[in-house]
Amino acid sequence: MSDKVLQFPGAEPLPDNPIEIERNDRHCEHGKVSLDEHQRCVNCLQCGAVLDAFDFLRSNARTLQTAWQAHRMVTLKANEVHERVVVLERERKRLAAQVKRLQQKAAPVLDVRGGDERE
């Protein structure tokens, strides 16, 4: 059956792909930079890349904004936990006092008269 299949003109097999993309899996975070005041540019000291100053500033501004939001959330959570601890401590003291009162109330009564009570 393959003998009956006709190939259209121009349907020859494709040649090997001449384009090859190199992938660099290492991604520099640009953690150490230098600011060149004379040329007004930002250079990464780790990978040597010249960074766009606005993109660098925007990235750092977002990092700072995220850090402040995280700090605010952690502070609120810590305050809530502290308030719960204060309430629980107050409740613990109240319950300890109640237990102490009940233990004193339920103390056994000793008969100090000695002897039988016959009438």
Contact 22, 45 (CB under 8 A): no
Domain boundaries, the chain: 30-105
Bridge partners (DSSP) listed for residue 33: 44
Against a cut of 0.75, is the pTM above it?
no
State residue 119's pLDDT score: 47
Digit-coded pLDDT (tens) for 82-100: 999 999 999 999 999 999 9
Q: Which residues pair with 51 in a beta bridge?
A: 42
As a whole number, the mean pLDDT across the chain is: 82
Q: Is the model's pLDDT at 16 over the cut of 80?
A: no
DSSP string across the chain: -GGGPPPPTT-PPPPPP--------------SEEEETTTTEEEETTT-PEEPHHHHHHHHHHHHHHHHHHHHHHHHHHHHHHHHHHHHHHHHHHHHHHHHHHHHHTPPPP--S-S----
Whether residue 42 contacts residue 56, with contact meaning beta carbons closer than 8 Å, is answered with: yes
User: Which residue has 């230098």 as its token pair?
Assistant: 34
Q: How far apart are CA 59 and CA 65, in angstroms?
A: 10
Is the backbone of residue 100 left (phi > 0), alpha (psi -120 to 50) or beta? alpha
